[in-house]
Amino acid sequence: MKNDRVKIKSTEVLSERWGFLRNIILDYQKSDGSWETQVREIYTNGNGAAILLYNKEKRTVILTRQFRLPTYINGNDSGMSVEVCAGLLDGDAPEVCVKREAEEETGYRLPKVEKGLEAYSTPGA
């Protein structure tokens, strides 16, 4: 991890209950060359993997519906969220993770999976 435009000045762990909530102070060099001090709270709980299940016979995607506290707090009356199957890696390879999550969340056992892409789900949140 090396970007000459970023200088981490300090990192403080604020909480480590389920994941890690850190307060980070950094200097960031803007495109005009000037430096700006930024303060950010970063919540991390590890890497995860997700899979979009597709039923060829029915020609439909298979999604899950789960309670998510942040959506409830944000005004979603039920707190339920429609999502693709996903979970934390917990030390497993992404392929193992999505097979495990698909079975846990939908009951489907997947003989094989195909990687589509790598992405961050909410990098700016």
Per the domain annotation, does 40 fall within a domain?
yes
> Would 56 be classed as within a structural domain?
yes
E strand or H helix that includes residue 94: helix 94-106
Range of 21's domain? 6-44
Express each pLDDT in 34-81 by its tens digit: 999 999 999 998 899 999 999 999 999 999 999 999 999 999 999 999
> Coil, strand or helix: which one is 52?
coil
For 101, the 3-state DSSP assignment is: helix
Same domain, 35 and 55: no
Q: Could you tell me the sign of the dihedral formed by the alpha carbons of 117, 118, 122, 124, in that order?
A: negative
Total domains in the chain come to 2
- Nearest by Cα to 42 from 68, 69, 17, 14: 14
Distance CA 102, CA 108 (A): 6
78 in a structural domain: yes
Q: Are residues 55 and 101 in the same domain?
A: yes
DSSP structure class, residue 58? T
Q: What is the pTM of this model?
A: 0.79
In a domain, 118, yes or no: no
Percent of the chain with pLDDT over 90: 90
Residue 123 falls inside a structural domain: no
* Tokens linked to 10: 């300090």
For residue 113, is it within any domain? no
15/60 same-domain check: no
- Do the domain assignments include residue 57? yes
Asked whether residue 67 falls in the same domain as residue 98, the answer is yes
The b-or-e profile of 15-42 (16+ CB within 10 A means b, else e) is eeeeeebbeeeeeeeeeeeeeeeeeeee
Q: Are residues 60 and 102 in the same domain?
A: yes
Query: How high is the pLDDT of residue 79?
Result: 98
The pLDDT of residue 124: 76
